[in-house]
A and B are shown apart, each in its own frame.
Chain A
Amino acid sequence: AQKVTQAQTEISVVEKEDVTLDCVYETRDTTYYLFWYKQPPSGELVFLIRRNSFDEQNEISGRYSWNFQKSTSSFNFTITASQVVDSAVYFCALSEPLYNFNKFYFGSGTKLNVKP
């Protein structure tokens, strides 16, 4: 079974629009971590945000914000006032530190196209 699902394959927006990327995860562990990574065309995965399972407080960091809801097993990521440089593939990842050596389970990614 897929542990991390990103249902949106590709999203296109116009610059300055807000965009939300969806992520649904599955785990039986009570302790887990969630991450969002960005992969620009150059290929290197860049860490964006993280959250642990005990902290459902949603936060804003610059133009990034996230909405973590354990009740729906969702960890959605929002970019406010998108820019062309935000164009990339975004991956949601889950790690289960107690039993799985902290390896990451990635979703299949959402390709974001920000048009000028």
Chain B
Amino acid sequence: DTGVSQNPRHKITKRGQNVTFRCDPISEHNRLYWYRQTLGQGPEFLTYFQNEAQLEKSRLLSDRFSAERPKGSFSTLEIQRTEQGDSAMYLCASSSEREAYNEQFFGPGTRLTVL
């Protein structure tokens, strides 16, 4: 399967703990996005990478959140000192700069529950 993969699929943690999620994009895609989706809502943009450069961060991404994409391949999203409000589905998507429409392919998501 050459789609976008995300790990773990589910994460339950206690408030105050740190968590890290991983996203492996489609191999030839140089663009990578993180979105957050809460219950009953559409995904909201968090951050964008073009190759290894993080070019945009949403105001939703507080200083407790950090994302990296070393070497322009996989990406990690870390949340420090988790809060109950961080409970959501975290979605990763990738796309190719060569694709005219920038059609984004989404991974299955990581569902985070903060107790």
Taking the complex as formed, is A25 at the interface, i.e. its CB lies under 8 A from any CB of chain B?
Answer: no
Q: Are A35 and B103 in contact (CB under 8 A)?
A: yes
Q: Are B108 and A44 in contact (CB under 8 A)?
A: yes
Taking the complex as formed, is B107 at the interface, i.e. its CB lies under 8 A from any CB of chain A?
Answer: yes
A91 and B42 contact, Cβ closer than 8 Å, known pairs A44-B109, A103-B33, A103-B48: yes
Taking the complex as formed, is A14 at the interface, i.e. its CB lies under 8 A from any CB of chain B?
Answer: no
Main secondary structure of the interface of B (DSSP, over half): strand
Question: What is the CB-to-nearest-CB distance from A20 to chain B, in angstroms, rounded to a whole number?
Answer: 19
Contact size range, B: 20 to 34
Taking the complex as formed, is B84 at the interface, i.e. its CB lies under 8 A from any CB of chain A?
Answer: no
A45 to B4, CA, bound (A): 11
B43 contacts which of A47, A52, A102, A106 (Cβ < 8 Å)? Answer: A106
Q: Are B109 and A33 in contact (CB under 8 A)?
A: no
Taking the complex as formed, is A104 at the interface, i.e. its CB lies under 8 A from any CB of chain B?
Answer: yes
Write the chain B residue with the least CB distance to A105: B45
Q: Are B41 and A43 in contact (CB under 8 A)?
A: no
Set of chain A residues within 8 Å of B100, measured between Cβ atoms: 52
Contact with B along A93-112 (1 / 0, CB 8 A): 10101001111111111000
Set of chain B residues within 8 Å of A37, measured between Cβ atoms: 106
Most buried by A among B50, B95, B104, B108: B104
Taking the complex as formed, is A42 at the interface, i.e. its CB lies under 8 A from any CB of chain B?
Answer: yes
A8 to B33, CA, bound (A): 27
A35 to B43, CA, bound (A): 14
Binding site for A on B (CB under 8 A): 31, 33, 35, 40-45, 48, 50, 55-56, 89, 91, 93, 95, 100-109, 111
Binding site for B on A (CB under 8 A): 4, 6, 33, 35, 37, 42-47, 50, 52, 91, 93, 95, 97, 100-109
